[in-house]
Amino acid sequence: MKEVKKKKRKMLLGDNPFGEIESIDFEYPKNKTRINVKKGYKKVEKKTAISTGSPEVAIDEAEKKIDEVLESVATQKTQSRDSLVEFAERIQSKMAAIQLEAGEEKRIFQALLKAVRPSFYLRKLAPFFLTGRGVEVDEFGRDEKLERNLLPVLKWLFDHYFRVEVQGVENIPPSGGCVVVANHAPVLALDGLMIRHAIVSRVRSDARLLLENELYFMPYVGILAQRIGVVRASQENASWLLSKGCAVITFPEGILGISRTFKERYGLKRFGRGGYVRLAIKNGVPVIPAALVGPQNSFPIIWKTSIGAKYFSIPFIPVTPTFPFLGPLGLIPLPLKWKIRFSEPLKFDYPAGENLDQATVNKLNNQVREIIQKMIDDLRN
């Protein structure tokens, strides 16, 4: 019996967040003669591999049945979610009854893994969830039809769940490129979505959110973010958007702002090396400082750890009063009131495209940081 090791497939964006498990397959030609020759012996042993009743066949048959059930569920408009939940519970109860006996071949375990991995069911349900998506997308993958479909949910979160209060939105230019610089909060990308909605619903519709790599490449987050208009943060992407007259929203704190604990919730982290300052001067656009208060209390991080985070392709694992004790429900932010304030635009007095030294960039960077910190202190009091 020849053991064949498969090469590890590189993880695709959003595919299999629990990491790829190196599988060991035993290749048996189905219903064909297999010749097994042992080195040092002249005797040639012939065996016949029989596929009847093998785990692979059983899994394939089960997969076909799953396809049939999901296809029938997708045609139902009102009972689809209830049917999916009931179907998932049935699968879970059946899987719990399966017990492997000692000494069974590893291929049985590999076959079962195929049925319990989340990516298996996500692939089956993808057509169901993406039904009605737009045919055309822009240069960054934005799907306007999907964005319109999700707008009622975003509006409900903004108006009723977080009850966001917006101040100084008149400081946002109605047209032309600009850079909105805000403090980050430990609520994944919800802080950016709320700031963007405040601008889009009141001033202009071309505001685009820049998302750092640590969040953009999280499993399943990046694909959805891309579809609703979020752009991966980079100088090239931001410059292209500004050249088209868009407003871009950025968070200079990066991942440090997201991982801020409850004890330091109102203190700003370092604003990187001031990349947004160079971006604004290069394109000759103003900078609008923005402060956000409220999400720091909606998702209070008591403690954080990096242990096991890489297996889920996330930067860290937070510990809050509700997570991980309530499971996935603990990741839902508390419905506390949020406040957003936009400051007056800052126009740096330098010629467009001028290449500044790092000392000057740091000075301008600290100036913006101090303005945002002052607004945070005013809003919390």
**pLDDT tens for the chain, residues 1 to 381:** 555 555 554 444 444 444 444 444 444 444 444 444 444 444 444 444 444 456 566 666 767 777 776 666 555 544 555 666 666 666 666 655 555 444 455 555 555 555 545 555 555 555 544 444 555 778 888 888 888 889 999 999 999 999 999 999 999 999 999 999 999 988 777 999 999 999 999 999 999 999 888 778 877 777 888 888 899 999 999 999 999 999 999 999 988 888 888 888 898 988 988 999 999 999 999 999 999 999 989 988 888 888 877 777 777 888 888 888 887 788 889 999 999 999 999 999 888 777 888 999 999 999 999 999 999 999 998
Query: Rounded to whole angstroms, how far apart are CA atoms 219 and 18?
Result: 9
**Residue partners of 19: CB distance under 8 A and separation at least 6:** 11, 311
Contact 318, 298 (CB under 8 A): no
Delineate the domains of the chain, giving CATH numbers in brackets. 3-129 (no CATH), 144-380 (3.40.1130.10)
How many residues does the structure list for the chain? 381
* Amino acid identity at 246: C
3-state secondary structure 264-290: HCCCCCCCCCCHHHHHHHHHCCCEEEE
Query: Rounded to whole angstroms, how far apart are CA atoms 67 and 60?
Result: 11
Q: Which residues pair with 24 in a beta bridge?
A: 5
**Residue partners of 10: CB distance under 8 A and separation at least 6:** none
Q: Which residues pair with 178 in a beta bridge?
A: 247
